[in-house]
């Protein structure tokens, strides 16, 4: 692939690759069985990668969106779960980067850069795709404090996060424009971490329900201004979707490499299965998809890095990459035959991990609505 | 304190195979990496820099591509890099290499500590560090497993077969470090972003004022005749049977017969 990465980007890529091979990939199976790996995440923080794209004045390395995409892409070759945890943490903390007041930026961004975990809470039990229909309310009390009541579902990093960015209704009459965003530290009274989801895949990332019982927040917990929450969330998801596309690339490439090694080793009918045309054609299709996936992902990242709106590119990249990733993981399982169906082989886990990529941060159906609406509206 | 760290680009030994016909290393398509032990030397310099403050200069002799390991050294936190590159340096053995490295150290001057990895994973001689110290006429400590600098002295521990010794030498001194001395860190994104903006020098023989009769092939009294894999499969395996105590007796008897005891 002819991606014109800068020399620094290539050095960061090599560094993440080395870290992923040595320290991340060996932990992925453990995480699948045991859940989020705090020690590994702490290690990730000491590498400085968690702050890669934050401006230097906040303790980051000042890299662009292409570089942060490289980080997610490479990490997901070792663990899609870990990459997802970092992706969501960035989605949430970037909301402060792009919409926070100077005081909020000064307070939270250095923490985000050093690796404090952030979570993003939009989805509720009765509002997923239809996110503007959330029910959680935030009401101002006599002292000007906000009081939140309600709950969230499917919140990645919940239970392990240090800070939550939560969406709540401040003015029901205004629909989506009546939603506001709040910054909530984990120790806030009234923030209750609920049921931990027993997920099919991505089990190395923590996902729980949250509920808010008269949770009081100071006035400066409001991110940006009243009514901006939905816009902040949608913009945040534009960035997150590029990361999900990158995770799709990394996970699919990892599956591809394992299947390739297996196909060259496994002998049937007197030759390695890689020499059977039916298997070769699978690799041809997968390799072609992978090239397209990488190009779409980095194209979207480059549009974002250039400062332009990237809603369309991000949605297209996520739709294509996540769909292809699931298919590639399934094909790689198929290439492993019966072994592929065993937990002893990693592809089984990859198949389970991959499906989330078509659901989280906008389902494929919703992305088609975004893309269709945009291209037809043009 | 000024620390010079000498580093080398080597083929990734995990990838290297010998060509069974020619006996040469098959370098085709093999990744080039920073000699793993040199990463320990760099980490050692970084720890001293963090503790006492230091300017750390990374130096490598090699073809222009060897600049890649110097960039990595800068990304790991070294302050400056020097690439010693000249056709006249090509084909050097450890004597010619150490002469060239010593000339670079002289050119930089004011050095307090010279750090080397214990050996390079390609040549495996462990001679270059000590020989560089000899050319410069400074003390050397080899196989260091710990290192600290106190009041103008460098203090190291060395793990020898049957004991651990603590030695010290007055600065400037050259030290070769073992891989157990520390756990090399990854370059951080912040340091990577700064790396290419740091001073990076490229010096040839003339820049060093080096005598080209002492560099490269002319300066190399040794050369490699053949490289071969040690023959496999001729190890003498013996099996003992019986209870653990009986096996122990048979084993000791054998060692005595073979004059190993
Ligand atoms: C592992 C995991 C992690 C998650 N992490 C987070 C997180 O960190 N923060 C957060 O806020 N949310 C998170 N989510 C929630 C996720 O974003 C939602 O699950 C997703 O948006 C879909 O919402 P839903 O589950 O309510 O499905 P529904 O909205 O009920 O959709 C059900 C099905 O109907 C389809 N559908 C819905 N509406 C339409 C339509 N108009 N036209 C056609 N088809 C439609 C959907 O595509 C889907 O196939 C996570 C989910 C999972 C599984």
Which of A84, A86, A91, A128 is the pocket-test mutation for ligand 1 (most atoms within 8 Å of CB)?
A128
Question: Which residue, A117, A140, A165, sits at the end of a domain?
Answer: A117
Full-model pTM: 0.91
Asked if residue A1 is part of any domain, the answer here is no
Which CATH number does the domain housing residue A240 bear? 1.20.140.10
Q: Nearest residue on chain A to B191, judged by CA atoms? A: A61
Which residues does a 6 A CB cutoff place in the pocket of ligand 1?
A 88, 120-123, 128-130, 154-156, 199, 202, 207, 356, 359-361, 363, 365-366
- Cβ partners under 8 Å of residue A278, min gap 6: none
What ligand 1 atom has the least distance to the C-alpha of A359?
Answer: 20
Q: DSSP characters for A6-19?
A: -HHHHHHHHHHHHH
Write the residue in A8, A47, A56 that is nearest to B188 by C-beta. Answer: A47
Same domain, A81 and A129: no
> A12 and B189 in contact by Cβ < 8 A?
yes
Same domain, A285 and A348: yes
Same domain, A237 and A353: yes
pLDDT of B14 > 90? The answer is no
Q: How far apart are CA A19 and CA A12, in angstroms?
A: 10
Q: Tell me, what's the ipTM?
A: 0.92
Same domain, A235 and A224: no
pLDDT of B25 > 70? The answer is no
pLDDT tens sequence across A46-94: 999 999 999 999 999 999 999 999 999 999 999 999 999 999 999 999 9
Same domain, A244 and A343: yes
Question: A186: domain range?
Answer: 119-229
Least trusted range by pLDDT, from A41-50, A204-213, A353-362, B238-247:
B238-247
Write the residue in A15, A52, A62 that is nearest to B187 by C-beta. Answer: A15
Count of beta carbons in the 10 Å neighbourhood of residue B3: 27
pLDDT of B221 > 60? The answer is yes
- Cβ partners under 8 Å of residue A175, min gap 6: A132
SS3 B122: coil
Asked if residue A200 is part of any domain, the answer here is yes
Q: DSSP characters for A6-63?
A: -HHHHHHHHHHHHHIIIIIGGGHHHHHHH---HHHHHHHHHTTGGGTTS-GGGTS---
SS3 B221: coil
Rounded to the nearest angstrom, the gap between the alpha carbon of residue B207 and the centroid of all alpha carbons in its chain is 24
pLDDT of B219 > 90? The answer is yes
pLDDT of B15 > 70? The answer is no
Q: How far apart are CA A1 and CA B197, in angstroms?
A: 28
Phi first, then psi, for residue B192 (nearest 5°) are: -65, -40
Same domain, A235 and A373: yes
Same domain, A242 and A367: yes
Same domain, A245 and A302: yes
pLDDT of A1 > 60? The answer is no
Q: How much is the mean pLDDT over chain B?
A: 91
What ligand 1 atom has the least distance to the C-alpha of A365?
Answer: 47
Please, what is the Cα angle at A128 between A124 and A129, to 5 degrees? Answer: 160
Same domain, A335 and A318: yes
Residue B56: both structure tokens together: 């750390």
> B195 and A11 in contact by Cβ < 8 A?
yes
**What pLDDT score was predicted for residue B239?**
85
Question: Which residue, A195, A229, A263, sits at the end of a domain?
Answer: A229
Q: How far apart are CA B179 and CA A348, in angstroms?
A: 37
**What pLDDT score was predicted for residue B168?**
96
Q: How far apart are CA B10 and CA B40, in angstroms?
A: 15
pLDDT of B23 > 70? The answer is no
Residue B76: both structure tokens together: 């790991």
Asked if residue A255 is part of any domain, the answer here is yes
Question: Which residue, A214, A229, A244, sits at the end of a domain?
Answer: A229
Residues of B within 8 A of A55 (CB-CB) are none
pLDDT of A283 > 80? The answer is yes
- The CA–CA distances, whole Å, from A138 to A128, A167, B28, B91 equal 19, 9, 65, 74
Same domain, A369 and A238: yes
Rounded to the nearest angstrom, the gap between the alpha carbon of residue B224 and the centroid of all alpha carbons in its chain is 19
Same domain, A343 and A353: yes
> A49 and B189 in contact by Cβ < 8 A?
yes
Asked if residue A372 is part of any domain, the answer here is yes
Asked if residue A13 is part of any domain, the answer here is yes
> B192 and A12 in contact by Cβ < 8 A?
yes
Residue B250: both structure tokens together: 């048979």
Asked if residue A2 is part of any domain, the answer here is no
Identify the band that residue B234 occupies on the pLDDT scale cut at 50, 70 and 90: low
**What pLDDT score was predicted for residue B214?**
96
Rounded to the nearest angstrom, the gap between the alpha carbon of residue B165 and the centroid of all alpha carbons in its chain is 21
Cis peptide before B172 (omega within 30 of 0): yes
Burial of B238 (C-beta count, 10 Å sphere; 0-12/13-18/19+):
exposed
Percent pLDDT > 70 in chain B is 94
Which CATH number does the domain housing residue A95 bear? 1.10.540.10
Identify the band that residue A2 occupies on the pLDDT scale cut at 50, 70 and 90: low
**What pLDDT score was predicted for residue B227?**
74
Q: How far apart are CA B149 and CA B172, in angstroms?
A: 11
Assign a CATH topology to domain B2-208: Rossmann fold (3.40.50)
**What pLDDT score was predicted for residue B122?**
81
Q: How far apart are CA B230 and CA B244, in angstroms?
A: 33
How far does B126 lie from chain A, in Å, by closest CA? 26
**What pLDDT score was predicted for residue A378?**
66
Structural domain boundaries in chain B: 2-208
Count of beta carbons in the 10 Å neighbourhood of residue A175: 13
**Active-site annotation of A, residues:** 361
- Cβ partners under 8 Å of residue A198, min gap 6: none
pLDDT of B19 > 90? The answer is no
Asked if residue A360 is part of any domain, the answer here is yes
Q: Domain total for chain A?
A: 3
Q: How far apart are CA B98 and CA B135, in angstroms?
A: 7
Contact A373, A352 (CB under 8 A): no
Same domain, A209 and A244: no
How far does A345 lie from chain B, in Å, by closest CA? 24
């Amino acid at each position: 692939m002819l991606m014109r990465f800068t020399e620094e980007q290539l050095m960061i890529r090599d560094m993440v690759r080395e870290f992923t091979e040595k320290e991340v990939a060996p932990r992925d199976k453990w995480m699948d069985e045991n859940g989020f790996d705090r020690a590994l995440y702490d290690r990730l923080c000491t590498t400085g990668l968690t702050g890669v794209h934050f401006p230097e004045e906040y303790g980051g390395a000042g890299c662009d969106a292409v570089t942060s995409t490289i980080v997610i892409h490479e990490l997901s070759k070792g663990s899609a779960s870990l990459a997802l945890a970092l992706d969501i943490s960035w989605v949430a903390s970037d909301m402060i980067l792009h919409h926070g007041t100077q005081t909020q930026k000064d307070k939270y961004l250095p923490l985000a850069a050093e690796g404090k975990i952030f979570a993003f809470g939009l989805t509720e039990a009765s509002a997923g795709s239809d996110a503007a229909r959330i029910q959680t309310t935030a009401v101002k009390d006599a002292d000007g404090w906000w009081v939140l009541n309600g709950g969230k579902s499917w919140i990645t990093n919940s239970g392990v996060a240090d800070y939550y960015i939560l969406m709540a209704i401040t003015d029901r009459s205004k629909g989506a424009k009546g939603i506001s965003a709040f910054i909530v530290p984990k120790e806030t009274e009234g923030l209750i971490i609920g049921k931990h989801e027993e997920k099919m895949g991505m089990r190395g990332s923590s996902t729980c329900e949250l509920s808010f019982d008269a949770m009081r927040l100071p006035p400066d917990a409001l991110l940006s201004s009243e009514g901006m929450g939905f816009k902040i969330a949608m913009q945040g998801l534009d960035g997150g979707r590029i990361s999900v596309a990158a995770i799709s690339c990394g996970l699919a490439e990892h599956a591809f490499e394992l299947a390739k090694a297996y196909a060259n080793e496994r002998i049937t009918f007197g030759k390695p299965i890689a020499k059977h045309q039916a298997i070769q054609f699978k690799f041809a299709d997968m390799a072609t998809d992978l090239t397209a996936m990488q190009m779409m992902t980095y194209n979207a990242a480059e549009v974002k890095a250039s400062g332009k709106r990237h809603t369309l590119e991000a949605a297209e990249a996520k739709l294509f990459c996540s769909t292809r990733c699931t298919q590639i993981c399934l094909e790689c399982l198929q290439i492993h035959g019966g072994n592929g169906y065993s937990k002893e082989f990693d592809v089984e886990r990859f198949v389970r991990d991959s499906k989330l990529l078509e659901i989280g941060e906008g389902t494929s159906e919703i992305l088609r609505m975004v893309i269709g609406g945009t291209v037809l509206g043009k | 304190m000024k620390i010079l760290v000498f580093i080398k680009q080597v083929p990734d030994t995990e990838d290297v195979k010998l060509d069974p016909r020619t006996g040469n290393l098959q370098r085709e398509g093999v990744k080039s990496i920073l000699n793993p032990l040199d990463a320990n030397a760099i980490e050692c310099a970084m720890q001293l820099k963090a503790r006492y403050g230091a300017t750390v200069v990374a130096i490598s002799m090699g073809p222009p591509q060897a600049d890649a390991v110097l960039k990595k050294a800068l990304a790991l936190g070294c302050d400056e890099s020097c690439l010693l590159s000249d056709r006249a340096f090509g084909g050097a053995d450890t004597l010619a290499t150490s002469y060239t490295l010593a000339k670079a150290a002289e050119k930089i001057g004011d050095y307090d500590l010279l750090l080397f990895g214990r050996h390079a994973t390609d040549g495996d001689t462990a001679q270059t560090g000590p020989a560089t110290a000899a050319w410069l006429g400074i003390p050397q400590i080899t196989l260091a497993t710990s290192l600290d600098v106190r009041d103008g002295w460098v203090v190291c521990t060395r793990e020898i077969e049957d004991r651990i010794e603590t030695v010290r030498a007055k600065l400037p001194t050259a030290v070769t470090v073992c891989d157990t001395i520390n756990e090399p860190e990854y370059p951080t994104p912040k340091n990577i972003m700064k790396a290419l903006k740091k001073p990076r020098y490229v010096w040839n023989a003339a820049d060093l004022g080096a005598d080209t009769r002492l560099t490269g092939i002319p300066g190399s009294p040794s050369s490699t005749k053949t490289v071969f894999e040690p023959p496999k499969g001729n190890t003498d395996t013996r099996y003992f049977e019986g209870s653990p105590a009986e096996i122990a007796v048979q084993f000791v008897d054998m060692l005595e017969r073979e004059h190993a005891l």
